[in-house]
Structures are given as C-alpha cells and as structure tokens.
Amino acid sequence: MRYLARPGSPPDCCGFLPSHDGFAFPNAWPKSPAFTLRLPFGRVRIGDSSAGLCGGMVFAALDYWHAGSRPPEARPGPGSGLHRYVVRRLITSWRMPAGVSRYYRWMVLPDREVARRTVARHWPRVKASLDDGIPAPLGLVTVASANPARMRHNHQALAYGYERSGTQVILRVYDPNSGPADGVGIRFDTAPAGTGFVHNLNLGWPVRGFFLVPYSPVAPPPFP
C-alpha cells in the first residue's frame, strides 16, 4: 500500500490528506461570473462559478500543500481576493487551448481507447509522481460525445495515494465535489482486458479515464 498521507497523521506530516489539506467546503459556489475579460470595447463576463471550480480548488489546495499551510476553512465570497485566486487557478488548470482540446479528443474516442491511454500513458506518470511524494492533478473524462457543450461535465481531482493488488489499483483522490472526505477513490484494472473504472466521487457521471494535468505551484494569497 502506498499513501502520501494516512489517517491520524500529525498536522506537520509532509503528506496530503483531504480532511487536512483539502478545502473544508465542497465545490458549490454562489452564482457569479467566473472571470471577466477586459477588451477594448468593454468587459466580457465568462463562465459561472455556480457551475463549479473543481480545477481551481485542486490547484489551490496543492498550492497550499506546497506552501506548508492549510486552505482557509470558510468559502470565499464572489469577488473576494481568495475567490479570484481560485478562479485564476481554474483557468490555469485548463491549459488553454491544448488542455481543453485533450478533453474533447478523449470525449470522442471509444471507451477502450480512453482506458488504454489512461493505463498505458498516464497511470505510470501519476504513479511516478506519487512515488516521489507529490500529489498528482487529474483530468477526468466522464462523457462520450462530440458535442463541445458537454465538456463541462468532465471533472478534475487530485490523486494523493494508491494501493495495488495484482493488476487492481485503487487510486485515492481529493474530490472537490466531496469536500474534505478521505474515503474517495477510483478503482481500475491495469490488465489489457480491464473492466473499466469504478469510483465513488460525488459525480453523476462515470469515469471513462484520466490524464495527468501539468502543474506548477504558485504562492497562495494570505487570508485572515
């Protein structure tokens, strides 16, 4: 069994545990523009925080972990400095346009090919990061569709540990939708004839596969 954090670890443990290092609240935000672009002809509001800021919460929680501090417990209000920071980290997690294009490319692939790419290409990279003691941000592909509007149903989470039994893997993840819950994970089989992915994320969609999202830490903002 390989964990980066274990139940009962002291607060100064170098590992990650959602109940200690994740945000104390789930990925549920009041309705407000996610971000505003300033253009020559005026401001254009894009997105809606109420649709979720999962990638921003994953990147922000990992920023605080790298900084050796815990995220604030109270959900920030729209327009606050912390809310803007989480939104900025969300945009960074998208890695536009390449990162967004990957979600779409995987959405139109058959399940078998999505699973193959996950197990053959990205699981080894995620495992290597975890073996080095570094949590790994994941892009989760949930829908099979050529409709770009359905890209919003995909998700992001943070892998922080795993356990293996033969070809079976249970990947422990911080799921922003689940809040500070430690018992969330994704189970899959690395064998060529694997049976797909099973999860208990707070998500109304299956997980078809996942990829490692490139990440670089930034200093999180101070908070009261």
pLDDT of residue 128: 96
**Residue 48 CB neighbour total at 10 angstroms:** 14
Residue pair 70/20 in contact by the 8 Å Cβ criterion: yes
pLDDT of residue 109: 96
Residue pair 116/184 in contact by the 8 Å Cβ criterion: no
Task: Report how far residue 135's alpha carbon sits from residue 66's, in angstroms, rounded to the nearest whole number.
Answer: 10
Provide the 3-class DSSP secondary structure of residue 157: strand
Domain boundaries, the chain: 2-212
Residue pair 100/148 in contact by the 8 Å Cβ criterion: no
Residue with tokens 């799921």: 175
Show Cβ contacts of residue 168 under 8 Å, excluding neighbours closer than 6 positions: 187, 188, 189, 190
DSSP state of 219: P
Task: Report how far residue 101's alpha carbon sits from residue 95's, in angstroms, rounded to the nearest whole number.
Answer: 9
pLDDT of residue 83: 87
pLDDT of residue 68: 93
Predicted structure pTM score = 0.86
Task: Report how far residue 77's alpha carbon sits from residue 155's, in angstroms, rounded to the nearest whole number.
Answer: 23
pLDDT of residue 28: 82
pLDDT of residue 42: 56
Residue pair 196/115 in contact by the 8 Å Cβ criterion: yes
Task: Report how far residue 177's alpha carbon sits from residue 93's, in angstroms, rounded to the nearest whole number.
Answer: 16
DSSP state of 199: E
* Local confidence pLDDT in tens for the 224 residues of the chain: 444 444 444 333 348 999 999 999 998 875 655 555 454 545 544 555 445 689 999 999 999 999 999 998 888 887 788 888 998 898 899 887 777 889 999 999 999 999 999 999 999 999 999 999 999 999 999 999 998 888 889 999 999 999 999 999 999 999 999 999 999 999 999 998 777 899 999 999 999 999 999 999 999 988 65
User: Tokens representing 201?
Assistant: 């994320």
Task: Report how far residue 29's alpha carbon sits from residue 27's, in angstroms, rounded to the nearest whole number.
Answer: 6
pLDDT of residue 30: 59
pLDDT of residue 158: 97
